[in-house]
Amino acid sequence: MGFLTLEHISHQYFTTSSYTKAIEDINLTIDEGEFVSFLGPSGCGKSTILSIVSGLITPTEGNVFVNGSPISKQSTSIGYMLQQDYLFPWKTIQQNVLLGPYIQRNVTQEIKEKAIHILEDMGLGNVVTAYPTQLSGGMRQRAALARTLITDPHIFLLDEPFSALDYQTKLKLENLVANTLKKYNKTSLLVTHDIGEAIAMSDRIYLLSANPGKIAATFQVPNHLKSLDPFDARQDADFNDLFQEIWKELNALEHNS
């Protein structure tokens, strides 16, 4: 029994004129501390899976278990990182990072010091009192990571968190996020459409087919790639082999549909 289990998850979206099946019969098990990615064409319900794991939407069928008990019945803390940082522009960086504890009425001196500590770790120690508009895109996304880390979530959900950044910033942040999550031993789910990013960051990759979203293939990332930083992993020979393999599989999926 893994840490996070998805059992026969299906989800439909309804409109007034019709309904669409976003995902169908998703089964998977993720161990604690594992980093998995979901790859697939747009419209394959990648983000829907994250929303279901987070508990923001209830699947029309199936169950999500964390440590063997259904997710709706417990208060597993979930960290969510979105495509954009969604820092609140009217709050300072420190207030943004303390948003979770503030909402949970849990702002102590200890938490405040932890916030400063995390921000310093992210190289944001000198912009604590700045407002988000004064920061670059990469800095903002780092602040968003700090905001997610501070509540010490059990599960980390990453919904294309690097897609709005320029390439160089994206590579740097991949390293930072992967190392940080490894350091804190977080279970993480990444949604992306970038094959390279999926290989460089994760332990396992699920390839989804579209309409409805189903698991089409699973790839295990070789152990020595896992141990490398994402940036170094991109330079490895095995990286290219796996890239080609996934590339072919993705193309095949497109032809079949």
Partner 1 sequence: MNTTPKQDQQRFENHLKHLKKEKRHVWAWQFVIFVVFFAIWELSSQLQWIDPLLFSSPSSIADLLFQKATDGSIFLHLRVTLLETIAGFILGTFIGIFLAAILWWSPRFSKIIDPYLVILNAMPKVALGPIIIVALGPGYVSIIAMGAIISVIITTIVVYSAFQDVDENYLKVLNSFGATRYQCFKEAVLPASFSTIISTFKVNVGLSWVGVIVGEFLVSQKGLGYLIIYGFQVFDFTLVLSSLMLIALCAAIMYQAVDRLERKLIKNSK
CA-based nearest residue to 154, from 71, 241, 255, 38: 71
The reply to whether omega before 212 is within 30° of 0 (cis) is yes
If one asks whether residue 152 binds partner 1 (CB under 8 A), the answer comes out as: no
Contact by Cβ (8 Å): 131, 92:
yes
Task: Tell me the window of 6-14, 18-26, 74-82, 189-197 that interacts with partner 1 (CB under 8 A).
Answer: 74-82
User: Helix, strand, coil shares of the chain as percentages rounded to 5?
Assistant: 40, 25, 35
DSSP-assigned letter for residue 127: G
If one asks whether residue 235 binds partner 1 (CB under 8 A), the answer comes out as: no
**For the window 23-62, what string marks contact with partner 1 as x by the rule CB under 8 A?**
-------------------------------x-x------
Please say whether the dihedral angle defined by the alpha carbons of residues 152, 33, 191 and 229, taken in this order, is positive or negative: positive
Shorter beta-carbon distance to partner 1: residue 190 or 199: 190
If one asks whether residue 86 binds partner 1 (CB under 8 A), the answer comes out as: yes
Residues 172-231 that bind partner 1 (CB under 8 A): none
Query: What is the spatial distance between Cα 54 and Cα 48, in angstroms, rounded to a whole number?
Result: 10
**Residue 135 CB, nearest distance to partner 1 (Å)?**
13
Shorter beta-carbon distance to partner 1: residue 52 or 78: 78
Contact by Cβ (8 Å): 190, 230:
no
Contact by Cβ (8 Å): 187, 36:
no
**Residue 129 CB, nearest distance to partner 1 (Å)?**
14
Residues 97-136 that bind partner 1 (CB under 8 A): 99-100, 103-104, 131, 133
Site of interaction with partner 1 (CB under 8 A): 54, 56, 75, 78-80, 82, 84, 86, 88-90, 99-100, 103-104, 131, 133, 151
